[in-house]
Structure 1
Amino acid sequence: MNFERIQEKLEILADAAKYDVSCSSSGGNRKNKGGLGDSHASGICHTYTEDGRCVSLLKILLTNHCIYDCAYCVSRKTNDVKRAAFTVEEVVDLTISFYRRNYIEGLFLSSGIFKDSDTTMERLVRVAKKLRLEHNFNGYIHLKSIPGASDELMKEAGLYADRLSINIEIPTEKGLKLLAPDKSHSEMIKPMSFVKNELILYKEEKKIFRKVPRFAPAGQSTQMIVGATNETDLKIIKVADHFYQNFNLKRVYYSGYVPVLEDSRLPSIHSQVPMQRENRLYQADWLMRFYGFEASEILDPEQPFLDLEVDPKLAWALRHREQFPVNINTASREMILRVPGIGTKSAGKILMARKFQKLGMDQLRKMGVAVNRTKYFVEFESSNVFSKFIDDQNLRKILLSGMSSKYQNPFSQQLTLF
């Protein structure tokens, strides 16, 4: 093996892979049965697991050669960049070598599309198959699905990979046609539909047969580029909601467009999508998946962009003051989850604890509730509510400033009026 050449390839293809954020993954439960690696204990992701453990994946492209000319992609065929390609054996050797050195706990493998979709997908599948069958590798494997790949290859990919993902890239068909005229959402959705159906089939067969070959046990995900075209946040979260509802996706990832190429169809090379916009989209996504919010509740046509100053849950509460204050001792779980500062775990603790005692602010604080925010939206049987004396504009200012001392007791301000 030419180590200098491998190192050069690694630098090129790892750098090209950094724009794909959908490699952050969890849900793998592949147990070690005498082989190498184990993703059973707590799953694996690119940065942190649910228990806070930091882990890493070898995140690379098989090649950055590509037959497509997508305006937003650094690997587009007309872009003047250094090209490289790994062989199947090189990727397998790198994965095993890095794993033995404790550098990584799994592999995220994507690729530019060279020659055609099936040829590219077949190479990706060969890497996973070789790792599983020849090296008995039980670590986490995430493969990127290639648009246009055959059902047979997608089926094989799901048998060896923990997670499959295919990037929608641009949220709307119109935007995609503008920046990537050779691509279509229908081509991307086809393998996504196949994976969804195979996952359903696996669950049904599992009820009947004891031993059924597992298919993509960590499910599938996708990614959308934010800011390369002019879609609103409302449109983006509605597209995400559509995929959650109709394709049973584990995650939708949002990637702020990084200006890497000068093109009249793209934002200026000197512009940058605010990181806060990307963060707000993830928060809105969380509300849809875990807090019972509908996409149409989070935003509407009159307010199609997320507030960059406050998180979407707080923004909703400020727009719907008539829903508050919430009596923490009698409210439904659905309404408790809508109180700013209360998360899913805290809501569960509240519902359990109030069976045995009346709860007050001290109890909420001990449960980990962000009471500096929550106290303006809840009430108790024996207490008044500060927020009823504060108008919308001032409440927003208080929450943004961390509550100035003169508003910590609004009654004292009220008394000075007489």
Structure 2
Amino acid sequence: MNETVLEKLKVLAESAKYDVSCASSGTSRSHKNGSIGSAAGWGICHSFAEDGRCISLLKIMLTNYCIYDCAYCINRRSNDIRRATLSVTELVNLTIEFYRRNYIEGLFLSSGVVRNPDYTMERLVKAIKDLRLIYHFNGYIHMKSIPGASQELVNEAGLYADRLSVNIEIPNEKSLQILAPEKDFQSVFTPMRYIQQGVLQSAEERKRFRSAPRFAPAGQSTQMIVGATADTDKDILHLSSALYQRPTMKRVYYSGFIPVNSYDNRLPALKQPPLVRENRLYQADWLLRFYQFKVDEIVNDTYPDLDIEIDPKLSWALRHPEKFPVDINKADYEMLLRVPGIGIKSAQIIIVSRRYSNLGSEQLKKIGVVMKKAQYFITCRELPVKTINEVSPEALRQILTKKANTKTDDRQLIIQFQE
């Protein structure tokens, strides 16, 4: 590996770090004789496997040259930054060498757009095709599909990539036109449709022929930038909900706006990324996908933005005291999921356990219920604690948000997922 390639690697890895739309869930590539690498539903980009093992991938751009001048992008055409381009051969060799050194277990590949979308997409497809067919690389590959690329190239990419993604970036087309006038929603949603068609067609073919090739078996994902425009959380979550209605959309990622181009007066003057808001959106997204919430229950015209101080589930519960308290020993599964402090696994265990005996507070603690929250929203065999209706939502909010007298590092974001 020569010094020139390593210098390119430094530049292109730095340019790729702002894209968070990557995950390896939904695919399984077991080890094959004569192949190298494997992926078994693992996370990527320093995520963690089910056994707690950290999984890494090479996250890199083929080039950070770009014909577009998007206001929010570090790689925009008008920026005076270090530029680099890897040849297809250099990228392939880099991936293989990193795998053989046990640095990575997969690849996340994106690129700036050079010449035109098809030219760039063709080079990306050539890289992952060579990895699969020439080097028999069997590890996880996530590839960014280039907006505006032809359906033929998208279809070919799906034969070699585990997951394809097309980033929406800005959740409102009018806002997109202001910050990226060379782009529009059609150029984004068209390749999304190509990917969906490819996945569904592949599934039908595999019903008839077991040997039929799989198309992007981990589906597709996308990313939205949070805080670059005046769009509310209601706007963002409604778009996310609509995307999740598509059978192949696996994840919507939210990226707090990083003010890398502070000189552009079209962008808000933020001192730091809105990380807490980003976290709340992920929590709301979780409620949509796994807790059977609807968007209008989380955010609406009265509450267009998520509460920064408390998680969305607790916020909903405080706004609906009439739904509580919930009898742990009688409530159905759907209602248990709406109790702050009760997660999916806890709700499932409660449903099974109460068949044998009435549950009390000690049993709930052993099950994993966060009683600090849940105790105000439930009743059980013996629970001598005042409920939300006796304490009042306003007073309960103060109790649950009261900060302990401990020192914390304000530079770090403490993520607490709601249960």
Q: TM class, shorter-chain normalised?
A: over 0.9
Q: CA deviation at 1:271?
A: 2.5
State the match for 1:331 in structure 2.
331
Distance 1:376 1:346 in 2: 17
Q: CA deviation at 1:360?
A: 1.1
Distance 1:305 1:111 in 2: 33
Deviation string 1:75-124 (CA, Å, 9 cap, x unpaired) is 11111111100000111111111111111110000000000111111111
My pick for the range that moved more, 275-284 or 301-310, is 301-310
Q: CA deviation at 1:389?
A: 2.2
TM-score (norm 2): 0.93
State the match for 1:407 in structure 2.
none
Q: 1:193–1:247: 8 Å Cα contact kept in structure 2?
A: no
Matches within 5 A, 1:276-291: 276-291=276-291
Unaligned 5+ runs, structure 2 = 406-419
Deviation string 1:379-418 (CA, Å, 9 cap, x unpaired) is 12554551232111110111112799xxxxxxxxxxxxxx
Output the amino acid matched with 1:21.
Answer: V
Output the amino acid matched with 2:250.
Answer: K
State the match for 2:400 in structure 1.
399
Q: 2:206–2:213: 8 Å Cα contact kept in structure 1?
A: no
State the match for 1:99 in structure 2.
99
Deviation string 1:140-185 (CA, Å, 9 cap, x unpaired) is 0000000011111111101000000000010010110000001011
Matches within 5 A, 1:251-270: 251-261=251-261, 262-268=263-269, 270=270
Q: CA deviation at 1:44?
A: 3.2
State the match for 2:354 in structure 1.
354
My pick for the range that moved more, 183-192 or 384-393, is 384-393
TM-score (norm 1): 0.93
Output the amino acid matched with 2:306.
Answer: L
State the match for 2:10 in structure 1.
11
Distance 1:66 1:333 in 2: 50
Deviation string 1:250-290 (CA, Å, 9 cap, x unpaired) is 0000001100111110012x522321000000000000000
| 3-state SS in 1 of match to 2:108 | strand
Q: 1:43–1:49: 8 Å Cα contact kept in structure 2?
A: yes
State the match for 1:30 in structure 2.
29
Q: 1:342–1:369: 8 Å Cα contact kept in structure 2?
A: yes
1:123 equivalent to 2:116? Answer: no
Q: 1:166–1:188: 8 Å Cα contact kept in structure 2?
A: yes
RMSD of Structure 2 on Structure 1 (CA): 1.5
Q: 2:117–2:149: 8 Å Cα contact kept in structure 1?
A: yes
Relative distance call for 1:82 and 1:403 in structure 2 (3 A) is closer
1:340 equivalent to 2:340? Answer: yes
Tell me the percent identity.
56
Q: CA deviation at 1:43?
A: 2.4
Output the amino acid matched with 2:5.
Answer: I
Distance 1:191 1:51 in 2: 35
Unaligned 5+ runs, structure 1 = 405-418
Q: 2:42–2:48: 8 Å Cα contact kept in structure 1?
A: no
Q: CA deviation at 1:340?
A: 0.4
Output the amino acid matched with 1:23.
Answer: C
| 3-state SS in 1 of match to 2:246 | helix
Matches within 5 A, 1:74-93: 74-93=74-93
1:204 equivalent to 2:209? Answer: no
Distance 2:171 2:150 in 1: 24
How many residue pairs align between the two structures? 401
Distance 1:398 1:248 in 2: 42
Relative distance call for 1:174 and 1:50 in structure 2 (3 A) is farther
State the match for 2:215 in structure 1.
215
Q: 1:48–1:54: 8 Å Cα contact kept in structure 2?
A: yes
Q: 1:89–1:127: 8 Å Cα contact kept in structure 2?
A: yes
My pick for the range that moved more, 51-60 or 316-325, is 51-60
Q: 2:361–2:383: 8 Å Cα contact kept in structure 1?
A: no
Relative distance call for 1:315 and 1:138 in structure 2 (3 A) is same
